A and B are shown apart, each in its own frame.
Chain A
């Protein structure tokens, strides 16, 4: 069995017990060695601690041990038979936002620690915000020190509710909550007997099973050239690590910035040439034609280009003691490219505790701001929310050569609205908007329509693989609702892609735009009092999160049509899987494009085994239980 890799980061305030949690995970998974245990016991005794301080395993530097705080990002390792874990242990100290940003940049999961006695603190909000800013796909909220609140369920529930209310403003696709005691070991590695009211799994089980690679962009081929290999006249190869997507010999590529095209001849490695290479692989590509390519160039696919511009709109986190100087020249490192850059405008800074925008003259250490940059040569980039590798950069001080800022690209700089435009939804801000469109306050309100209809409006969002039976069940359900005199509206891929979305293909970007339009149509239908049944593969968690975000709380029902891929391949009513497997259909979800299963769907329908009629009834019961419709 192959072992998977999960990189995660931990954040907490001073004394939340973060280091103790890590110590506990290492200890209970037997990842500590006798000499480490012995050395820690010695130190603990010498200091007069009453118990062995598990945090000592992780607080490495002498200054930290003396002051009992963690002052820099430390990396820890442990493994279980299923996974190897790389922990970026980041301090929660007020002045160390930069450390959490550093740890978060490579993490796929963040553990945010909350002390059960203190509840949510300003710093918990900051940690949540940074996780969202860095687009960490999975967040875990560990409510620690449950032993000190007598394992009280209500205390835990209140904290979960507080965090949930706050998290609705964040862009985090999945958040999971755990009541634990790191010191006593409750629900960390082993399930605790002290909290019979908690029916979930222990934290480690979640870490072992959470979907890895959820943040990976497997669609857009991006290959920043790192190094050119010319061992002899007959060989010219381009070494690099695939930033996203995949590539195979014979495929056409375009080289940026020259724009010259060629075909991939071979994917070379010392172990032999490959048939295919994917995101994360370090390889060497050779091309059919001799075209001029050097370090810093980027190879991409012909029909799927990054943006190219020297005016960049970005969010940056300032990481240097020397404050940001608007007049200074900086070097900007983006993938394998180094260019000069000027910050032409500082739009505003963001208070990490309240997420409010503030007018800013400059940026100090640990501050986060929205800026417009001009680079001397254009960058080839994607937005950070689409691609964490081609959407990120660092700024380097030209005098000291120190890394002074971390940046996340939002797009090409346009006239970005300043403070005046305080949009609640950052996602909406990122999407293109039509100028000068004002909302016409409707003459009829949603509430009026609902009381006429005699039921609440809602969006029932069916997601699942192609052929999983989403639409079949949705249609049966709609018929039942119709017979109950419920106002309904039906949206599915077939009826929308023929008209409204006829201009869209199946790249990740087009899929996102498809879902964005569908979401808006569904929201309109809802505001007109309908129960909208939307049946879309909608493979990306982020796109579904967007659909949910524009609908009022409690009115969005995510229904996961769960069916085994093998069953689908066999069932294959339209012969699509066969075509996808033979390569005839590219970017086919489940075969050559990813499907991110919902982490917390409202309803799961087992379409692999269940009878469609029963499954429709199952949803009907849910709607009645929620009070959306009456019996």
Chain B
């Protein structure tokens, strides 16, 4: 790194680290939301870099829907051990058992929407004031207007018309009692940036992202991995296919893509020439055109 020129990845990294440090400096009780997906792994990596040689000065929180891919959970536990971070896990199952939420029933049931309640309860339980997430503005239209420091009222809700302007690199994290922030340090990254960064930094990712053989149920054009919670209905069948996942979420709604890309170089080539957004394979966004906007207002990430 000689001279004044920096690549776009260097600049995006420096910006994200700056934002993560602002969180640690401006809030007493921040938390990093960790799903086990590539964006949150990238976030954890950036947080390590932000505070090196010290450890990440806040805990990580995983909301487990109970429908996670087993690969995700294995990876999560191994990774936490390796980086010496403090992990808190909260379960959607507990919210169901406590009657906080009612589980959808039937073969198309998804726990994706239920996570929001578990998440808000967990934030309240620990009195977390700021939750860092790996959401990016390029993911979805409603996110394009999201701030780095996203203000939430005392009910955890997002009001798109009442967001603070963000100028230069000045992030206003002052708040009234009960209010919280969601913070998105990698707002300005695209899917391709994340992949290129993972390659440049040599970040390890769960095996789900790489091409593998899997039993698949095709549903409304979405390729879902067959499991206890996803099984064929009507004339649907199970097929063995070569797939990988572009995002990792709940098994009930995260679609795979057919792909031979078995290593990161192949994935970058594939992403660079992709013709469908990564969320295009997610059943939850397909419910209505403003689906994401509605879920965000309720407190979803």
Of chain A, the residue at the smallest CB distance from B280 is A35
A333–B170 CB distance below 8 A: yes
A239–B51 CB distance below 8 A: yes
The interface centre, meaning the residue of B8, B165, B169 with most chain A CB atoms within 10 A of its CB, is B165
Q: Is A406 an interface residue (CB 8 A)?
A: yes
Task: Report A339 CB to chain B, min CB distance, Å.
Answer: 13
Q: Is A166 an interface residue (CB 8 A)?
A: no
Within 8 A of A (CB), among B173-208: 174-176, 187-188, 190, 192-193
User: Could you say which residues of chain A place their CB within 8 Å of the CB of B289?
Assistant: 39, 42-43
**Whole-angstrom distance between the alpha carbons of A43 and B289 in the complex?**
9
User: Could you say which residues of chain B place their CB within 8 Å of the CB of A456?
Assistant: none
User: Could you say which residues of chain A place their CB within 8 Å of the CB of B49?
Assistant: 269-271
In-complex Cβ contact of A77 among B5, B6, B145, B190 (8 A) = B190
User: Could you say which residues of chain B place their CB within 8 Å of the CB of A216?
Assistant: 4
Given A60-B144, A231-B53, A401-B175, does the pair A278, B25 have CB atoms closer than 8 Å? Answer: no
**Whole-angstrom distance between the alpha carbons of A61 and B144 in the complex?**
9
The interface centre, meaning the residue of B4, B170, B275 with most chain A CB atoms within 10 A of its CB, is B170
In-complex Cβ contact of A33 among B5, B145, B169, B277 (8 A) = B277
User: Could you say which residues of chain B place their CB within 8 Å of the CB of A508?
Assistant: none
Q: Is A568 an interface residue (CB 8 A)?
A: no
User: Could you say which residues of chain B place their CB within 8 Å of the CB of A229?
Assistant: 51, 53-54
Q: Is A69 an interface residue (CB 8 A)?
A: no
Q: Is B262 an interface residue (CB 8 A)?
A: no
User: Could you say which residues of chain A place their CB within 8 Å of the CB of B168?
Assistant: 105-106, 388-389, 392
B144–A62 CB distance below 8 A: no
Q: Is A445 an interface residue (CB 8 A)?
A: no
Q: Is A597 an interface residue (CB 8 A)?
A: no
Chain B, residues 98-116, CB within 8 Å of chain A (1/0): the string is: 0000000000000000000
Q: Is A230 an interface residue (CB 8 A)?
A: yes
User: Could you say which residues of chain B place their CB within 8 Å of the CB of A278?
Assistant: 3-4, 6
A213–B4 CB distance below 8 A: yes
**Whole-angstrom distance between the alpha carbons of A71 and B13 in the complex?**
29
B170–A393 CB distance below 8 A: yes
Chain A, residues 266-289, CB within 8 Å of chain B (1/0): the string is: 001111001110111110100000
User: Could you say which residues of chain B place their CB within 8 Å of the CB of A226?
Assistant: 18, 21-22, 25
In-complex Cβ contact of B277 among A4, A36, A86 (8 A) = A36
B174–A331 CB distance below 8 A: yes
Of chain A, the residue at the smallest CB distance from B7 is A2
Of chain B, the residue at the smallest CB distance from A7 is B188
In-complex Cβ contact of B174 among A392, A396, A406 (8 A) = A396
Q: Is B284 an interface residue (CB 8 A)?
A: no
**Whole-angstrom distance between the alpha carbons of A101 and B24 in the complex?**
28
The interface centre, meaning the residue of B3, B172, B190, B192 with most chain A CB atoms within 10 A of its CB, is B172
B8–A5 CB distance below 8 A: yes
Chain B, residues 14-33, CB within 8 Å of chain A (1/0): the string is: 11011001101100000000
User: Could you say which residues of chain B place their CB within 8 Å of the CB of A628?
Assistant: none
B4–A279 CB distance below 8 A: yes
B167–A102 CB distance below 8 A: yes
A268–B52 CB distance below 8 A: yes
Of chain B, the residue at the smallest CB distance from A278 is B4
Q: Is A73 an interface residue (CB 8 A)?
A: yes
**Whole-angstrom distance between the alpha carbons of A36 and B167 in the complex?**
29
**Whole-angstrom distance between the alpha carbons of A333 and B142 in the complex?**
29
**Whole-angstrom distance between the alpha carbons of A469 and B7 in the complex?**
33
Within 8 A of B (CB), among A290-322: 295, 319
In-complex Cβ contact of B176 among A275, A279, A280, A401 (8 A) = A401
User: Could you say which residues of chain B place their CB within 8 Å of the CB of A279?
Assistant: 4
User: Could you say which residues of chain A place their CB within 8 Å of the CB of B54?
Assistant: 229-231, 235
Q: Is A75 an interface residue (CB 8 A)?
A: yes
Q: Is A629 an interface residue (CB 8 A)?
A: no
**Whole-angstrom distance between the alpha carbons of A452 and B25 in the complex?**
70
B293–A239 CB distance below 8 A: no
Given A106-B168, A276-B2, A394-B170, does the pair A62, B290 have CB atoms closer than 8 Å? Answer: yes
**Whole-angstrom distance between the alpha carbons of A42 and B73 in the complex?**
38
Task: Report B282 CB to chain A, min CB distance, Å.
Answer: 10
The interface centre, meaning the residue of A36, A79, A396, A403 with most chain B CB atoms within 10 A of its CB, is A403
B275–A33 CB distance below 8 A: yes
User: Could you say which residues of chain B place their CB within 8 Å of the CB of A270?
Assistant: 48-49, 52-53
User: Could you say which residues of chain B place their CB within 8 Å of the CB of A393?
Assistant: 170
B53–A268 CB distance below 8 A: yes
User: Could you say which residues of chain B place their CB within 8 Å of the CB of A374?
Assistant: none
Of chain A, the residue at the smallest CB distance from B286 is A35
B6–A239 CB distance below 8 A: no
Task: Report B292 CB to chain A, min CB distance, Å.
Answer: 9
Task: Report B293 CB to chain A, min CB distance, Å.
Answer: 6
B8–A4 CB distance below 8 A: yes
In-complex Cβ contact of B172 among A4, A36, A43, A394 (8 A) = A394
Q: Is A34 an interface residue (CB 8 A)?
A: yes
Task: Report A409 CB to chain B, min CB distance, Å.
Answer: 12
User: Could you say which residues of chain B place their CB within 8 Å of the CB of A79?
Assistant: 190, 192
Given A36-B277, A74-B145, does the pair A406, B165 have CB atoms closer than 8 Å? Answer: yes
Chain A, residues 140-173, CB within 8 Å of chain B (1/0): the string is: 0000000000000000000000000000000000
Q: Is A336 an interface residue (CB 8 A)?
A: yes
A282–B175 CB distance below 8 A: no
Q: Is A227 an interface residue (CB 8 A)?
A: yes
User: Could you say which residues of chain B place their CB within 8 Å of the CB of A246?
Assistant: 4
Given A36-B277, A268-B52, A269-B49, does the pair A74, B169 have CB atoms closer than 8 Å? Answer: no
**Whole-angstrom distance between the alpha carbons of A62 and B174 in the complex?**
29
User: Could you say which residues of chain A place their CB within 8 Å of the CB of B161?
Assistant: 71-72
List 15 A-B residue pairs with CB atoms under 8 Å apart, sorted by A's residue number.
A4-B5, A33-B275, A34-B280, A76-B144, A77-B190, A84-B193, A226-B18, A229-B53, A230-B54, A241-B18, A275-B2, A282-B17, A400-B176, A403-B167, A594-B4
Binding site for A on B (CB under 8 A): 1-15, 17-18, 21-22, 24-25, 48-55, 137-138, 141-145, 160-161, 163-170, 172, 174-176, 187-188, 190, 192-193, 274-277, 280, 289-290, 293
Which 4 A-B residue pairs are closest in the complex by CB-CB distance?
Answer: A231-B54, A35-B280, A60-B141, A270-B52
